[in-house]
Chains A and B, each alone.
Chain A
Amino acid sequence: MGSIWEYANPVKFNHTAGKVLPWVSIGATATLVIGLIWGFFFTPDDYRQGSTVKIIYLHVPAALMAINVWFMMLVTSLIWLIRRHHVSALAAKAAAPVGVIMTVIALITGAIWGQPMWGTWWAWDPRLTSFLILFLFYLGYIALWEAIDNPDTAADLTAVLCIVGSVFAVLSRYAVNFWNQGLHQGASLSLDKEENVADVFSTPLYICIAGFILLFIALVFLRTRTEIQKRRTKALIARERLG
């Protein structure tokens, strides 16, 4: 097998990605379909929230992914800055749009859920607010990638932005907490204190989370490979020009 860094070689990565991708995709589709169907059709309503509790199967996995995708980008950015493995930088680039969509899903499902639960689409609750800020970070990150032609320059700049941004994201989270006490649920995976009720909801929820994670892995493999191919195409065209 050798060291993990071998996969930082684009050729090797493409090869492996090609082999792994179908399986991950099938796994992602299967778990997502099972989890969502289970959650949507075969769970009872919550006694307080009624049927809206079903939204949790989308909302929580998306919210978790939104944060973790950024975290993954932070790690790959550091790897790029320290070891200068192109695949690592491209993986960060590939992950960002997925992260944005996850953030948007969390925001939209949250907003839709908030309407019946809190009587408003949007409140300046700390958790909601920090998600909005995360969304802005994603937008800025993607815009910076788009704005620069030279791929290595873009990789360097976005990597630094990602790191500085992470520090500020943590700061904002603290600031926002200080600024407003919220309406949002605390971070525990149980809706009610009684164990038995929670179980009913939590098994499909775990399946959905697994599905989102698998989907993310599949998408990142696919998109990273796309980015690698785009760069190769660009390099080859440039080479043709040299004659």
Chain B
Amino acid sequence: MIPDLGKYADTVLSAYGASIVLLVALVWWSLRAARKARIELEKVEDRRNG
């Protein structure tokens, strides 16, 4: 499945690996912060409305 990367396999794979890890971490972190902010806000809004 993986194409033949020749002698540079390590190089290419580590570049892809590192980048994808960073991108996924960024997205995950953003989503988590978004969820936390939403829950906080809903808690406060509920307290206020009822």
Using a CB–CB distance below 8 Å, which chain A residues touch chain B? 36, 40-41, 45, 50-52, 54-55, 58-59, 62, 97-98, 101, 104-105, 108-109, 112-113, 115-116, 215, 219, 222-223, 225-227, 229-230, 232-233, 236-237, 240
In the complex with contacts A51-B12, A58-B15, A58-B16, A219-B30 CB distance below 8 A: yes
Q: Give CA–CA (A161, B40) in the complex, Å.
A: 31
CA A230 – CA B47 in complex, angstroms? 16
CB distance from A16 to the nearest CB of B (A): 16
Binary contact track B14-28/A, C-beta < 8 Å → 1, others 0: 111011001101110
Measured in the bound complex, the distance between the Cα atoms of B33 and A51 in whole Å is 38
Q: Are A55 and B11 in contact (CB under 8 A)?
A: yes
Q: In the docked arrangement, what's the CA distance between A227 and B30, Å?
A: 11
CB-based contact A229/B41 at 8 Å: yes
Q: Is B44 a contact partner of A40 (Cβ separation < 8 A)?
A: no
CB-based contact A226/B47 at 8 Å: no
Q: In the complex, A132→B30 CA distance in Å?
A: 24
Tell me whether B23 and A105 are in contact (CB under 8 A). yes
Q: Please provide the chain B residues from 1 to 50 with a CB less than 8 Å away from any CB of chain A in the complex.
A: 3-9, 11-12, 14-16, 18-19, 22-23, 25-27, 30-31, 33-34, 37-38, 40-41, 44-45, 47-48
* Beta-carbon contact of A113 and B34 below 8 Å: no
- Is there contact, CB below 8 Å, between A112 and B9? no
* Cα-based distance from A232 to B41 in the complex (angstroms): 7
Are A51 and B41 closer than 8 Å at their CB atoms?
A: no
Residues of B within 8 A of A229 (CB): 34, 37-38, 40-41
A101-B38 in contact (CB<8A): no
Q: Which of B11, B14, B22 has the most chain A CB within a 10 Å cutoff?
A: B11
Chain A residues with CB under 8 Å of B22's CB are: 101, 104-105, 108
Give the nearest-CB partner of B4 in chain A.
Answer: A51
3 closest A-B pairs by beta carbon, nearest first, are A229-B37, A51-B5, A112-B15
8 extra interface residue pairs, beta carbon distance < 8 Å, beyond A101-B22, A112-B14, A229-B38: A36-B16, A40-B16, A58-B19, A113-B15, A215-B27, A219-B26, A222-B30, A236-B41
Question: Taking CB as reference atom, which chain B residue is nearest A101?
Answer: B26
